[in-house]
Amino acid sequence: MKITKAVIPAAGLGTRVLPATKSMPKEMLPIVDKPAIQYIVEEAVASGITDILIITNRGKGLIEDHFDRAPELEARLSDSHPMHDEMLRISRMANIYFIRQKETRGLGHAVHCARSFVGNEPFAVLYGDDVIIGDDPACGQLIRAYERFGKGILGVKEVPPDTISRYSSLKVEPICENYFHCTDMVEKPAPDQVLSLYSVLGRCVLPPEIFDILAQTPPGAGGEIQLTDAMRTLAQSTGMVAVDFTGTRYDMGNKLGILQATVEIALRHPQVGEDFREYLKGFVKNL
């Protein structure tokens, strides 16, 4: 079955980047000239996704406004203005829907809110904290893996040993190329629970059976319903496939991650890249 639906959980409070997120959703923090969530939506669209559900909560109306038409602004921009067509494109990229997670009960609970949207289809999940930049969209890499293996797919990377406790840890065995069998996982592992240094980082493709599993998943780490715990059940029963995807991942829920994304993407920006590079050279020289 062709995967055309994606879910973007964007209901987090952004406590790691306060005070910037006191009144602005972290998903709307800019990377050069686009908010972080636009990069995620563009990745989904480039992967063949046509219908996107963004899960928000109170105070995140700016996200809806961004993907809506802006008639007053469009009227002020002449047809020849370089940003006129771009403003229209943002509202036409895909069929974008919104639902609120009325309680902050974890990523698993947020994904479960998408059940009626997804129906009985496989779907992609793109975490709202994670911007992944690369020539081959990460979401598309996972969709191709689902078409090849017919199982739930995890987008993974190796993380440093001293940070694995902040992520998930997967039990994996190589299949071929950058594909691995995954038969177990644990969220935020203690030192004696680490299965490997491979962790799910921001992307997965899930079968619709995940919703029945989520409905029976008790609260886990942090007292929240963890998507990892539900995927663990899936991995232990039917198995999942982990894909060591290509591309650079930026953690937009982390101050350092935001700075890294801004600098690295600015250096490749067609309008400001060269000038910014010269600025950095001069700045570093004078340190």
The pLDDT assigned to 222 comes to 76
8-state DSSP, 254: S
- What one-letter code names the amino acid at 265? I
The pLDDT assigned to 26 comes to 92
Burial of 92 from C-beta contacts in 10 A (0-12 / 13-18 / 19+): exposed
8-state DSSP, 166: G
pTM: 0.94
> 109: domain CATH number?
3.90.550.10
10-residue mean pLDDT profile of the chain (287 residues): values are 93 86 91 96 97 93 92 82 87 94 87 95 95 96 96 95 92 94 92 94 96 91 86 94 96 93 96 95 88
How far separated are the first and last CA of the chain, in Å rounded?
56
The string of pLDDT tens digits covering residues 3-30 is 999 999 998 888 888 898 888 999 999 9
Q: Identify whether the C-beta of residue 228 lies closer than 8 Å to the C-beta of residue 200.
A: yes
Q: Identify whether the C-beta of residue 155 lies closer than 8 Å to the C-beta of residue 43.
A: no
- For 54-66, letters b (16+ CB in 10 Å) and e give bbbbeebeebeeb
Domain coverage including residue 220: 5-285
Number of Cβ within a 10 Å radius of residue 91: 14
Q: Identify whether the C-beta of residue 106 lies closer than 8 Å to the C-beta of residue 224.
A: yes
> How far apart, in whole angstroms, are the C-alpha atoms of residue 121 and residue 119?
6
Q: Identify whether the C-beta of residue 257 lies closer than 8 Å to the C-beta of residue 29.
A: no
C-alpha pair distances (Å), 256 with each of 106, 126, 272: 23, 21, 21
Counting the structural domains of the chain, the total is: 1
The pLDDT assigned to 30 comes to 94
The pLDDT assigned to 270 comes to 93
- What one-letter code names the amino acid at 51? D
The pLDDT assigned to 120 comes to 94
3-state helix, strand, coil in the chain (%, to 5): 40, 25, 35
Q: Identify whether the C-beta of residue 128 lies closer than 8 Å to the C-beta of residue 56.
A: no
